[in-house]
Structures are given as C-alpha cells and as structure tokens.
Amino acid sequence: MLSISQLSKHYGEKEVLKGLSFEIPSGSICGLVGKNGAGKTTLFHSILRFVNYEGEILLDGKSLTVDRYRDIGYLPEERSLMPKLTVFEQVRYLASLKGMTSKEVSEKLPIWMEKLEVKGKLTDKIKSLSKGNQQKVQLIITLIHEPSLIILDEPFSGLDPVNTGLLKRVILTEKERGATIIFSDHVMTNVEELCDQLVMIQDGDVVLNGGIQEIRRQFGKTRLFVSADVPRERLEGLPHVLSIQMTNQDKWRLVLDDEGAGPELFQAISGGSYLATFDQQAPTIDEIFKIKSGVAE
C-alpha cells in the first residue's frame, strides 16, 4: 500500500502541493488526473525523493529511503534511453541499478520482449528502433525487476490503439501480481477503463478521491440517452432538461437538473409507446473532470 499523508511542497513562495493525503491499496490501480500544472509530476517526484517535501510517504508501512528504490518502477513522461547502446546493454545497465544480475536480465528480457511484441533484437541499437518500440523497451526497464510500486507518467502517450491495448493488458497483469500502480493520463477513458481509484488534483489540492463508480454516483444519474423519433424542440421544452444534443450513435443526450426526473420524462417522451433506448447514467469521468475544472455543465 502507498500511503501519502499531509504532503506539501514549496518552490520558493509558491505552494505546489497543499497537504495531500490519500492511500492506494496493494493490487490496485489509481489514476492521478488534473490539468497541466496541477501538481501531478511534483507528486511523483516527491514519492521518488527527487525533491524535498513536508509530510509522510510510506510504502507498505515503511519510508521510501534510497535503499528501497528497487521496490519502485518509474516510467517518466519524457523518455530517456541511450541511443548507442543495444537493447540488452540498455536494459542490463538500468536493471543493475535495481539489483538485477546480467544472468537475470538474460533470462527475463526475451520474455518481456515477446510479451510487449517489441519489433527488434537484443543486439539492435536503441536508435534503430521505432519510437513506439523504444517506448516499449523503457516500459520493460520499468517493470522487469517486478517492483511493488509502479509509477507511470503518461504511459500511453504516442502509442497507437493496438499498442495501447497491449500496454493496458500488461498493467492489469501487474495489478494481478499485487503491485500498487499509479498513473497519470489526460485521456479519461483510459482512467475509467483501468482504474479502481481516481485521485484528482487541482491547484495542489485533492478535489476527488474514491472508486470510479463511487465518484460517478456522487454526481447523480443526470445524463439521459434516448432513441426516439421526437423533434428536438419537444425535448428542449421538457421539464428538468438543461441541454440536449445528438450523439454520433444517433441518440439524444439530455443533461438533467434532477436524476429523479427519469420516470416523468419517460412518460413524456414515450407516451406509453416503445423506446429503443432510454438509458439514464451518471456523468462520465471525462465530464466530471471538466466539471471540476470549471469548463462544463
């Protein structure tokens, strides 16, 4: 378990983190979200002790001192590999900093290359690999020593949909192994799909913390999706409807001011007739992110 208590960080007079407190259980995935400049990277750097801070950070009840770095796997947002080294040399060097021997790397690296479908050989130089395959090598370096805490900063950046799906499967496998995983992403669908927990930071404060569905329920089932041959003007005139739009799936999407209006709206729209779709949902995580950021209804 990762436990963060009253974490604060100042750069001069600027307070970047303002007494953050939350926990991430072992064997779970937490999505860390927030606008640019919210404090996500500073939080990661505090966990890694790249910066000094006030407060307490514990992993499985113990402080993260230098001798515990091998318990952490970190994928930074800015990728950094040495282009003139071969894949094996690069992985061996960085894995050795986590306590792995050359023999262990020789045994595990081919397995990881196959698992992540890296197009290249162990003897290929890093600079000869495509950008996507270089990113996979860096991910291997992050995970090959089987860390108990995994920190991924924008891990899907630059990946195509196929490789994004591949990485998601690897992340879920690491969760099943029992690792504590925290990752940042600006694509909320990735967060909603993968995460057990969401932590949103805004201006250095935690403004949301909880399970994905728990957070969605807090905002009520105020999104109504309807498939019906009904004029837009009629829907706009219904009580409790704040806005309306047609989705790409040919469904009306109504935003309501009261989730309890569902039965009344069903009767008003259907008139007792069949409706192909009448689906009342809570806002998506993407919508909630925008609401908390002050850019959506």
In Å, how far are 99, 106, 124, 141, 163 from 89, measured between CA atoms?
Answer: 15, 10, 10, 11, 24
Q: Cβ of 47: how many Cβ atoms within 10 Å?
A: 21
Q: How far apart are alpha carbons 185 and 227 in whole angstroms? A: 32
Residues shown for the chain: 297
Q: How far apart are alpha carbons 154 and 164 in whole angstroms? A: 12
Sheet holding 197-202, edge to edge: 72-75, 149-153, 180-184, 28-33, 197-202, 205-211
Q: Which domains does the chain have, with CATH numbers?
A: 2-209 (3.40.50.300), 220-281 (3.30.70)
Q: What is the pLDDT of residue 297?
A: 54
By the 8 A CB rule, do 2 and 58 touch?
Answer: yes
Six-digit token string for 42: 């500073």
Helix (H) or strand (E) run with residue 254 in it: strand 252-256
Q: How far apart are alpha carbons 34 and 201 in whole angstroms? A: 5
Q: How far apart are alpha carbons 253 and 224 in whole angstroms? A: 6
Q: How far apart are alpha carbons 252 and 275 in whole angstroms? A: 12
User: Which residue, 203, 284, 188, is CA-closest to 36?
Assistant: 203
User: Which residue, 200, 193, 141, 133, is CA-closest to 169?
Assistant: 193
Taking the chain (297 residues) in consecutive chunks of 10 residues, what is each chunk's mean pLDDT? 95 92 96 92 93 93 84 88 95 94 96 93 94 92 96 89 93 96 93 95 94 94 91 91 92 94 92 88 94 76
Cα-only R_g, the chain? 23
The single-letter code of the amino acid at 241 is: V
Q: What is the pLDDT of residue 296?
A: 61
Q: What is the pLDDT of residue 22?
A: 96
pTM for the full model? 0.88
